[in-house]
Amino acid sequence: MQEQDRPANASEPEKQIEADTRDSGNDGPDRAGGRKAPPEVMPSADELLKQAELAAQEHHDAWLRAKAETENVRKRAQIDVANAHKYALENFALQLLPARDSLEAALASPDVTLESLASGVEITLKQLVSAFEKANIKEINPLGEVLDPHKHEAMTTVESDAAPNSIVSVFQKGYELNDRLVRPALVSVARSKDS
């Protein structure tokens, strides 16, 4: 009988070992205190979709706000450029108005003499020169200089004792605005008497 009991007793521990190995799979005790970790709950596909849709909506809203801000900046820049073009000459115009007022006053005066007219023209010219200086408009009066085709326009050549290609007379002065040519000086240029 003892032999029969042994196999029966032997089979129970084997069953117990099998049960332990099945249970200890992935849900074995953790290191903290022998408790099993709770199984992770995977969100459903609907929950994941809702989360993704919310994130996409947030990104879309942020993109729309950024796009609107960029458009506003572009419109403001266009308005600033248009105003700069439109009112760029405002200061210069303010400087020219006294010269116009002086000319109108001279013409409106009933007792104009040659001396008063000459004096008025001198005052008006001073006002114009002052306005040009404030606007950084420089006069080009190249008498005696060598012809520079970037600043001067030769109208004629004349025989002269002066060096060839030097300017012997100025028909009309030229002007530069901030070192950029506005109008070339119209000049006559010397040529040697031999040619």
Which residues constitute the domain of residue 172? 137-195
Q: Token pair for residue 73?
A: 């900046």
Q: How many domains does the chain have?
A: 1
Helix (H) or strand (E) holding 117: helix 114-134
| Residue 182 pLDDT level (bands cut at 50, 70, 90) | very high
Say what the pTM is: 0.56
Whole-angstrom distance, CA of residue 55 vs CA of residue 115: 86
Question: Does the residue 146 lie in any domain?
Answer: yes
Whether residue 11 lies inside any domain: the answer is no
Is residue 142 domain-resident? yes
E strands along 23-109, which residues?
A: none
In this predicted model, what pLDDT tens digit does every residue of 88-135 receive, in sequence order?
888 888 989 999 998 888 888 888 888 888 888 899 999 999 999 998
Assigned domain for 179 exists: yes
**Residue 30 token pair:** 């953790």
Whole-number Å distance between alpha carbons of 115 and 159: 39
Give the separation between CA 105 and CA 118, rounded to whole angstroms. 13
Alpha helices, H only, the chain: 2-23, 45-86, 90-108, 114-134
pLDDT band at 1 (very low <50, low <70, confident <90, very high): very low
> Does residue 124 lie within any of the structural domains?
no
C-beta separation of 138 from 170 below 8 A: no
Specify the higher pLDDT residue, 3 or 144: 144
Residue 153 lies in a domain: yes
**CATH value at residue 148:** 2.30.22.10
| Mean local confidence (pLDDT), 153-165 | 90
Q: Does 157 map to a domain?
A: yes
pLDDT in tens, 15-66: 555 555 555 444 445 555 556 666 678 888 899 999 999 999 999 999 999 9
Is 89 a domain residue?
no
Task: Determine the pLDDT at residue 85.
Answer: 86
Q: How far apart are CA 49 and CA 186, in angstroms?
A: 79
